[in-house]
């Protein structure tokens, strides 16, 4: 028998085993259904970690050493399917609304809070999303969230990720801290320019002001020059400070709009290292807003500190949902994860309050028991 014939024979044996596995799986799921009904009657959680560990320990005792790793993965997958089946049975027929009721978007006298001075990239994002609204500048991102929660502003605009430098961790943490809802998003292309007093030449410059992100995003350009670099709260503050100094020895990195607002002259345009560099800004509100046109979902969740906990959560997205980003953040000595998803989740109820999926008091528009999610419009 040559190798090709051997492969065909082994495949037939595998097919036979697969058929048996499917039959056994269906028998197991029938037992799981019975367990789910009993748990519903007793108001018990679907997950029982001690029971799962007992199962894993028992099957490992009978597994060959060379297959112990695969055995654990196999059993955890079966247990994950079993819990998913129980949750499906427990929650598919519930009558309680799965979504917190949305409010109508503000229609008039809209106030938008953003961080920085006029000319900041946050203001540009506000103009993208709310071109006719009154704009209210705040000193810090924390102040933006506070203004929204105190209803001093209808919406807040904050950056959440940059295509070059990645996630903006402070925003993730503030979403959780204040419990605001993401209700919109927009992309702003960060085409940084070098600006200074009218008539300033490159040879005149001794010190450059900008936000740390602005300096980082123009690092290759700045390495060509022997300038002192000074960080500011944002790029608009850098432009304002340069205008206030009023000397040609000072320059700023920021937007063209900032140069125009503060009477500065653009010395060099688009000095950003990556010309495709853009920042995603989100609009936040103190109440959820959503409708059928929403096209993005965000989820916060926390997992148990044990092997396989995160894999069990991600397992539910495997079939038909594309994850565009996953972010992990520290949480008082623990960690929580933040997922952003760009596909609609319609029928999937992902958890039932078990220890692996505890709710967090932050963010979000759509609730499935212990998971909270955002659904947002994109501009």
CA 172-176-179 angle, 5° bins: 125
* Termini Cα distance of the chain: 63
281 assigned to active site: yes
From the list 145, 178, 281, 317, the catalytic residue is 281
Per DSSP bridges, beta strands 166-167 and 155-162 are antiparallel
| CA nearest to 204, candidates 225, 182, 234, 180 | 225
Give 270-274 contacts, CB < 8 A, sequence gap 24+.
270/191, 270/192, 270/193, 271/192, 271/193, 271/194, 271/218, 271/221, 272/190, 272/191, 272/192, 272/217, 272/218, 272/221, 273/164, 273/217, 273/218, 273/219, 273/220, 273/221, 274/163, 274/164, 274/217
Determine contact, residues 280/158, Cβ cutoff 8 Å: no
| CA nearest to 44, candidates 33, 52, 34, 36 | 36
**Spatial separation of the C-alpha atoms in residues 266 and 258, rounded to whole Å:** 10
From the list 46, 232, 242, 279, the catalytic residue is 279
301 assigned to active site: no
Find all residues with CB under 8 Å of 242, minimum gap 6, and list them.
Answer: 195, 196, 197, 209, 250, 251, 252, 262, 264
CA distances from 268 to 54, 237, 241, 315, 358 (A): 67, 19, 18, 49, 51
Dmax over Cα atoms in the chain, in whole Å? 88
Nearest-Å Rg of the Cα atoms of the chain is: 27
**Spatial separation of the C-alpha atoms in residues 60 and 151, rounded to whole Å:** 57
Region label for 271, one of left (φ > 0), alpha (ψ between -120 and 50) or beta (otherwise): alpha
**Spatial separation of the C-alpha atoms in residues 249 and 238, rounded to whole Å:** 14
Catalytic annotation, residues: 279, 281
């Amino acid at each position: 028998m040559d190798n090709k014939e051997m492969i065909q024979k082994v495949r037939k044996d595998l097919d036979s085993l697969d058929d048996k596995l499917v039959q056994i799986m269906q028998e197991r799921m029938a037992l799981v259904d019975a367990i789910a009904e009993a748990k519903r009657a007793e108001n018990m959680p679907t997950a029982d970690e001690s029971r799962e560990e007992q199962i894993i320990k028992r099957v490992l005792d009978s597994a060959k050493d060379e297959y112990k790793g695969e055995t654990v993965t196999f059993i955890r997958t079966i247990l994950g399917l079993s819990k998913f089946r129980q949750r499906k049975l427990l929650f598919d027929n519930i009558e309680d609304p799965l979504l917190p009721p949305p409010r109508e978007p503000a229609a008039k006298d809209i106030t938008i809070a953003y961080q920085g001075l006029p000319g900041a990239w946050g203001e540009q994002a506000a103009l993208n999303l709310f071109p006719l609204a009154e704009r209210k500048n705040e000193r810090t991102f924390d102040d933006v969230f506070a203004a929204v929660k105190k209803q001093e502003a209808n919406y807040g605009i904050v950056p959440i990720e940059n295509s070059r430098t990645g996630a903006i961790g402070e925003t993730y943490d503030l979403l959780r801290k204040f419990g605001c809802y993401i209700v919109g998003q927009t992309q702003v292309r960060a085409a940084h320019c070098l600006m200074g007093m009218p008539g300033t030449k490159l040879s005149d410059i001794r010190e450059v002001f900008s936000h740390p992100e602005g300096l980082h995003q123009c690092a290759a350009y700045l390495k060509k020059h022997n300038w002192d670099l000074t960080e500011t709260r944002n790029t608009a503050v850098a432009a304002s400070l340069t205008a206030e100094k009023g000397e040609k020895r000072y320059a700023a990195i920021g937007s063209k709009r900032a140069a125009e607002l503060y009477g500065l002259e653009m010395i060099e345009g688009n000095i950003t290292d990556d010309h495709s560099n853009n920042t995603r800004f989100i609009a936040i509100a103190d109440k959820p807003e959503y409708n059928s046109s929403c096209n993005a979902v965000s989820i916060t969740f926390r997992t148990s500190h044990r092997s396989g906990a995160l894999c069990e959560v991600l397992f539910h997205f495997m079939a038909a949902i594309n994850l565009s980003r996953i972010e992990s953040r520290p949480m008082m000595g623990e960690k929580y994860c933040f997922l952003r998803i760009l596909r609609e989740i319609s029928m999937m109820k992902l958890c039932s309050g078990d220890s692996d999926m505890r709710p967090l008091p932050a963010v979000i528009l759509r609730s499935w028991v212990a998971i909270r999610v955002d659904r947002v419009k994109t501009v």
